[in-house]
């Protein structure tokens, strides 16, 4: 296979794309349904809306304005728009494409160099972006992100009883979420893009003061929606730990646990099930690879969430994550007081620093909230489509529920009328889709893409295993130093070997991994820039984190002792 059916063309005007900050957000690989429907019509156009609004470009400047490709799909894998994001750096006063690369994406040798074009410079856009930056550094609120939360929460709260809807009504329910998702994405891309302004100000000032690590510590403890599910899972774990009856069910294993709990007549278990249902109502749309409807969310597979509860119940009440967060907040406040003291004689710089701190807190928090808003809406696309699929599997029209997500956007209408025409086609397509998991996508694309048949096989990748004394370098992301046993976890549902206090070594993390952060003493991930989920969640929960340690899951053996220094961005093998 040289090209996947959902692949896009790299383009000419904006040819550079990267897996940086995409590999830790989007699924590997993307289902055709996701790639050709709401990725383009909601997420992609929401990004154009955002960039046009803040002044990066005019709508008609994008490549193919009628149907713009804002997220590349190559070999089924999703790529971030490096060229478009660099244009933001080129046109923003005081910024640069290189600075934007550092703020948002992993720094890798494979990333193509920026090539300036005369049209990249634009006084008109620079003026608008300057005004945007002025707003970022002076505003104390971002009400649109709160309005979007109400919108997403309302969509979930008003979900109809699927048993009362026919297949067309279910499909229309899913479709009705797309414009809401576009709105949430627009707000999110504004907050995500502008989050670099405040953090850039704080970083520049702390570097000028001679200690760049202060910027990492200053951004600890920011309220992040992605930290809410871990806290809820912690509360569930306390219910398990307090009840011998519930604990006995967990002792029997996670497989089938949901059904056993629901069948129990004990008062403790009924109380736990009620708490679990409340958890699934609020956070059930979350899970591994959660942006893609093909992914099994916690709602679709509660045992995945319960597997994390199973690990959490081993922790004592003294390990309450609130205590670790309090320590991180106390350190932040100490550093904050120190910086203020050092700048006391320079009113202008102190004022700039305070504005940068305020903007960092507001927009980094908004960046996490937009993701929660979007994923809740994705859940309202996923569940009606899964209900249609369940019915068609029962009728023999689909081989598996996941086959419905092999549909391309232009096939959905015909499928609704003649599903029998797609039974074999979708099964064959699903088999081909599974082969995409076996290849290693290039980290960056610049104008052309090698045929998939030439990509490296994941099993063929050879890396040197780290040995005692080696120091692996990543990015300083969340402050603190921790020593513990390294545990390589490739799937957040497979946790049999993970013990409280272990150092989590993961390929990347999304919010479905965040509950593991409660048990981990530190987190190390293969990919992820300074604004990645692993960084945000670690800071919020008060544990050291070093992202962008290339091939960490292959180089660091499970069971070795490691020291993670989140201030220096290093992992030392003992």
In tens, the pLDDT along 465-481 reads 999 999 999 888 888 89
Nearest to 71 by CA among 291, 383, 225, 379: 291
**Does the structure show a pLDDT above 80 at 109?**
no
Q: Mean of the per-residue pLDDT values for the chain? A: 91
Q: Which neighbouring-strand residues pair with 523?
A: 504, 545
Residue identified by tokens 């700048």 is: 343
How far apart are alpha carbons 565 and 407 in whole angstroms? 45
Q: Which residue has the higher pLDDT, 235 or 534?
A: 235
Report the pLDDT value the prediction gives residue 530, as an integer from 0 to 100: 58
Q: Considering only 182-196, 419-433, 442-456, 483-497, which range has the smallest mean pLDDT?
A: 483-497
pLDDT band per the 50, 70, 90 thresholds, residue 162: very high
How far apart are alpha carbons 549 and 547 in whole angstroms? 6
pLDDT band per the 50, 70, 90 thresholds, residue 289: confident
Nearest to 288 by CA among 516, 458, 524: 516
Alpha carbon of residue 362 to chain centroid:
18
DSSP 8-state code for residue 80 = B
Report the pLDDT value the prediction gives residue 124, as an integer from 0 to 100: 96
Backbone φ and ψ for 525, nearest 5 degrees, come out as -130, 155
CATH 3.40.1160.10 fits 471-573, yes or no: no
Q: What is the pLDDT of residues 39-91, one digit of tens each?
A: 999 999 999 999 999 999 999 999 999 999 999 999 999 999 999 999 999 99
Mean pLDDT of the region 394-400: 97
- Count Cα atoms within 13 angstroms, Cβ side, for 379: 28
DSSP 8-state code for residue 506 = E
Q: Considering only 152-156, 193-197, 379-383, which range has the smallest mean pLDDT?
A: 193-197
User: What's the helix, strand, coil split of the chain in %, to 5?
Assistant: 55, 10, 35
Question: Could you tell me if 18 and 443 are in contact, meaning their C-beta atoms sit under 8 angstroms apart?
Answer: yes
Task: Identify the helix (H) or strand (E) that includes residue 254.
Answer: none
Out of 53-57, 438-442, 528-532, give the one with best mean pLDDT: 53-57
pTM of the predicted structure, to 2 decimals: 0.90
How far apart are alpha carbons 359 and 201 in whole angstroms? 9
**Does the structure show a pLDDT above 70 at 525?**
yes
**Does the structure show a pLDDT above 70 at 225?**
yes
Q: Considering only 219-228, 406-415, 544-553, which range has the smallest mean pLDDT?
A: 219-228
Task: Identify the helix (H) or strand (E) that includes residue 428.
Answer: helix 423-435
How far apart are alpha carbons 255 and 244 in whole angstroms? 19
Question: Could you tell me if 452 and 432 are in contact, meaning their C-beta atoms sit under 8 angstroms apart?
Answer: no
Q: Among residues of the chain, what percentage have pLDDT more than 70? A: 97
The torsion of the CA quartet 92, 97, 103, 105, rounded to 10 degrees, works out to 140
Nearest to 504 by CA among 442, 459, 566: 566
How far apart are alpha carbons 388 and 63 in whole angstroms? 36
pLDDT band per the 50, 70, 90 thresholds, residue 412: very high
Q: What is the pLDDT of residues 309-349, one digit of tens each?
A: 988 898 888 888 788 788 888 889 999 999 999 999 999 99
Mean pLDDT of the region 143-161: 97
- Per-residue exposure over 471-486, b if at least 16 CB sit within 10 Å of its own CB, e if not: ebebbbbbbbebebbb
**Does the structure show a pLDDT above 90 at 527?**
no
Q: Which residue has the higher pLDDT, 274 or 501?
A: 274
Q: Among residues of the chain, what percentage have pLDDT more than 90? A: 68
**Does the structure show a pLDDT above 70 at 461?**
no
Question: Could you tell me if 483 and 562 are in contact, meaning their C-beta atoms sit under 8 angstroms apart?
Answer: yes
**Does the structure show a pLDDT above 90 at 26?**
no
Domain boundaries of the chain, sorted by first residue: 16-113+122-209+346-435, 225-283+299-321, 471-573
């Amino acid at each position: 296979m040289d090209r996947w059916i959902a692949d896009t063309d790299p383009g000419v005007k904006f040819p550079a794309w990267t897996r940086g900050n995409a590999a830790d957000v989007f699924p590997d690989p993307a289902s055709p349904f996701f790639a050709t429907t709401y990725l383009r019509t909601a997420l992609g156009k929401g990004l154009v809306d955002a960039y046009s609004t803040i002044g990066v470009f005019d709508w008609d400047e994008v490549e193919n304005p009628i149907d713009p490709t804002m997220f590349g799909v190559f070999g089924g894998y999703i790529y971030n728009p490096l060229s478009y994001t660099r244009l933001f750096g080129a046109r923003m006063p005081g910024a640069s494409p290189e600075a934007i690369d550092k703020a948002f994406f992993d720094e890798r040798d494979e990333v193509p160099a920026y090539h300036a074009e005369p049209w990249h410079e634009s006084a008109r856009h620079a003026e608008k972006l300057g005004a945007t930056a002025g707003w970022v550094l002076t505003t104390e609120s971002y009400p649109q992100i709160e309005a979007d939360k109400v919108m997403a929460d309302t969509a979930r709260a008003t979900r109809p009883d699927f048993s009362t809807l026919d297949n067309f009504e279910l499909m229309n329910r899913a479709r009705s979420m797309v414009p809401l998702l576009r709105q949430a994405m627009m707000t999110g891309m504004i907050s995500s893009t502008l989050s670099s302004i405040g953090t850039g100000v704080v970083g520049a000032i702390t570097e000028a003061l001679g200690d760049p690590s202060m910027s990492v510590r200053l951004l600890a403890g920011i309220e992040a929606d992605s930290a809410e599910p871990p806290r809820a899972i912690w509360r569930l774990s306390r219910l398990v730990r307090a009840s011998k009856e519930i604990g006995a069910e967990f002792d029997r294993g996670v497989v089938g646990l949901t059904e056993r709990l629901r069948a129990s007549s004990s008062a403790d278990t009924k109380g736990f099930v009620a708490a679990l249902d409340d958890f699934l109502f609020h956070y059930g749309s979350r899970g591994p690879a959660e942006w893609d409807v093909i992914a099994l969310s916690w709602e679709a597979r509660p045992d995945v969430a319960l597997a994390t509860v199973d690990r959490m119940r081993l922790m004592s009440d003294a390990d309450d994550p609130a205590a670790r967060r309090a320590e991180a907040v106390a350190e932040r406040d100490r550093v904050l007081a120190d910086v203020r003291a050092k700048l006391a004689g320079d009113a202008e710089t102190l004022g700039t620093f305070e504005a940068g701190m305020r903007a960092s807190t507001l927009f980094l928090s908004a960046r996490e909230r937009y993701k929660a808003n979007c994923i809740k809406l994705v859940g309202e696309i996923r569940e009606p489509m899964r209900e249609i699929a369940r019915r068609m599997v029962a009728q023999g029209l689909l081989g598996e529920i996941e086959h419905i997500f092999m549909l391309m956007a232009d096939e959905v209408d015909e499928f609704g009328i003649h599903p029998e025409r797609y039974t074999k086609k979708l099964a064959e397509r699903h088999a081909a889709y599974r082969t995409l998991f076996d290849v290693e996508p290039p980290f960056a694309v610049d104008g052309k893409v090698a045929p998939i048949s030439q990509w490296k096989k994941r099993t063929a990748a050879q890396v040197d295993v780290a040995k005692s004394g080696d120091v692996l370098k990543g990015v300083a992301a969340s402050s603190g130093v921790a020593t513990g046993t390294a545990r390589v976890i490739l799937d957040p549902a497979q946790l049999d070997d993970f013990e409280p206090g272990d150092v989590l070594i993961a390929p990347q993390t999304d919010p479905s991994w965040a509950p593991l952060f409660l048990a981990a003493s530190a987190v190390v991930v293969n990919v992820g820039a300074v604004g990645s989920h692993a960084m945000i969640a670690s800071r919020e929960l008060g544990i050291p984190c070093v992202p962008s340690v290339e091939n960490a899951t292959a180089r660091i053996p499970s069971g070795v002792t490691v020291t993670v220094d989140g201030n220096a961005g290093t992992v030392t093998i003992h």
